[in-house]
Chains A and B, each alone.
Chain A
Amino acid sequence: MTAAAVTAARVPPDTAGRWWRGHRADTLLALVAAPAMVFLFALYLLPVGLLLQQSVEGGSLAPYEKALTDGLYVGVLFDTMLIAAYVSVACLLLGYPVAYFLTAAPAPWPTIGIVFILLPFWTSILVRTYGWMILLGRNGIINRLLLETGLISTPFPMLNNTTGVLIGMTHVLLPYMVFPIYAVMRRVDLGLLSAAEGLGAPGWQIFRRVYFPLTLPGVLAGVTLVYILSIGFFITPALLGGGKVIMIAVLIEMQVRQFLNWSFAAALSAVLLTATLLVYLVLRRLFRSDLQWS
């Protein structure tokens, strides 16, 4: 849309009338999008630019050298991306059937389902995190129930480790997976499924070759959202991981708030941003080729 606006400036005036007839829709779109673009520029691109500038303050690349070679930061970045991947997969496996349920179930079930998904969405993350501590603890509700029924003899460790972090993060991020998929599923033409059935395709084939590929844009949007939000997670891992799970955001925060080493924090952020963009490009490529293949 902005690209259209840029070309508009370069066109010589004598051909402007013809150009306008050809590009009217694009130009109008650009105008409609302009406030949002200005907003994003002022509140997102500009700050990111200033941050990147801070990372090379004094003309030295030393912060980057440290961020990219120090085993601590590279290791934690890798762990963070791995946890984000686990959470994305868990959200997809749980969220996809829920989104399908919301599309397919008769009234009033979709409404009830959406309310159930939105209610925790409106509750503070901190409150939900403490809620999980009560449920998952050594002396928590789940462990006490399992101990009393004799199913286990020692408490099952679900809190203060990676398991606790994954459960808590999946819970917080599930709506970000459900809603994009749900939005796409609602637009799928169910006639296509009937057509596939009429042509003799078994149920699994219909799902794999017709329905799932049609919902892929929603899956891509959901996975991207969840993955990117996971990478920046902060308080949930700190509380549910018992301090044993370190995410890169924790290390960046430490540099910003405790040690006032902003150039290093900026370099770490830049590395994280680049890694996230790379993952995004890979994801998009993956899903694209899938679409073409089907």
Chain B
Amino acid sequence: MLKLRWMTASVCAVLAVSTALFAAPDAFAQAEPPKPAQIVVNDSGGAMQNAMRSAFYNEFEKRYGIKVVNTSPVDLGKLQAMVKSNNIEWAVTEIGGQDAILAERSNLFEPLDLKIIDLSRYPKHLQDRKFVFPKGVYSTVMGYRSDAFKEGNRPKSWADFWDTKKFPGPRTMQNAPVDNLEFALLADGVAADKLYPIDLDRAFKKLDQIKKDVAVWWTTGAQSAQVLIDKEAVLGTAWNGRYYVLIDQGAPITIEWNQGAMKESSFGIPKGAKDAYWGQKFLALVSEAKAQGIYANIIGYPGLNLDATKFTDAKLIPFLPTSLENFPKQWWTDLAWWADNGPAVTEQWSRWMLQK
């Protein structure tokens, strides 16, 4: 009996070992589809693309021997067209915060494979992402020409931005309601944690006061900072990296982080993408601390891996929205509110813009 039991046990052990030996590589081979010659990653182009090339694309090519081809710009409409016609060119696409929510609701993304993508070193509230990969943080901040306002008398809040007597000169703001409505409410004395749901009447009434002083309603990111260089405006708003790139080149621009509007930037894998697996692998690479450190050093946009700061240049820290000093001064944009209300509010914005 004992012998029999021993035999059974040993047979079981042999079976188990052989299963482990043969079945495991087999399962592995099933999970890893054949390597394509290239994958397409769609991004915002320009300076962002250069930074991603150095930080992510080159490393991916080296690691897997798959060429990364870039396209741009980021385009929610094109994403929907691709998914609807089942003719998907991209393995991964970058996508803005508010658009990402809309894309997820419209069922345009593959689910993230969290067995491949490791989010364990991300802030707790981001670890259970289903579809939208949290790429990083950017902030819409106030910036001004350093030569326009004397030290000691510089705008420090949106109330100051609205104060054209104390801080004279033309302004520039984005030609979109997002951020601007919140800035108007902050200027009108609303607390940052009481912004949503946005009181539209109050916000537009406050915007009426500044309208004639806004020389340029900017459309592109590059334009927002260029307007200050060209002296078309002396005080404005922009995404923080746009100011950083020019400051780094010696432009006389100062960033005021107080009351800046933080948002998440994201990546997603289009639903039905044929290279979806390699898209997951690509996002896994993007989630790594070292790659995010390299990326931030070039462009000034930090990733969300908490270890990334170890690889970030010290001179960059004052320009990161997530630095210890800057972070607590800002607030988070409620992207879900904007995804719900964007179309109607943008229509109202256009109407307001056409009023003389």
Contacts and interface: CB of A to CB of B under 8 A. Distances in A.
A243 B175 contact: yes
B216 A75 contact: no
A138 interface: yes
Contacts of A246: 350, 353-354
A258 B99 contact: yes
B160 interface: no
Nearest to B170: A138
B99 A76 contact: no
B215 A138 contact: yes
Interface in A109-159: 133-134, 137-140, 159
Contacts of B307: none
A135 B136 CA distance: 38
B174 to A, nearest CB: 9
Contact of A160 (B102, B215, B220): B215
A76 B347 CA distance: 12
Interface string B187-227: 00000000000000000000000000001111110010000
Contacts, number: 68
Interface-central residue, A134, A260, A261, by most chain B CB under 10 Å: A260
B350 A242 contact: no
Given A260-B76, A260-B106, A72 B215 contact: no
A4 B350 CA distance: 49
**Chain A interface size, under 10 / 10 to 19 / 20 to 34 / 35 or more:** 20 to 34
B252 interface: no
Given A160-B232, A244-B353, A72 B343 contact: no
Interface residues of B, number: 28
A238 interface: yes
Interface string A148-191: 00000000000110000000000000000000000000000000
A7 B37 CA distance: 53
A99 interface: no
Contacts of B78: 257
A256 interface: yes
B232 A239 contact: no
Nearest to A260: B80
Contact of B350 (A140, A251, A261, A262): A251
A254 interface: yes
Contact of B215 (A133, A242, A262): A242
Contacts of A257: 75-78
A76 B350 CA distance: 10
B342 interface: yes
Nearest to B220: A239
A243 B216 contact: yes
Given A254-B346, A259-B343, A260-B106, A72 B351 contact: yes
Nearest to A255: B343
11 contacts: A76-B354, A137-B230, A238-B175, A239-B220, A242-B215, A243-B216, A257-B77, A257-B78, A258-B343, A259-B342, A261-B343
Given A239-B220, A246-B350, 10 more contacts: A72-B354, A76-B350, A134-B230, A139-B232, A238-B219, A243-B218, A244-B353, A258-B76, A258-B343, A259-B102
Interface pairs A-B: 4 shortest CB-CB? A243-B217, A243-B175, A257-B77, A139-B231
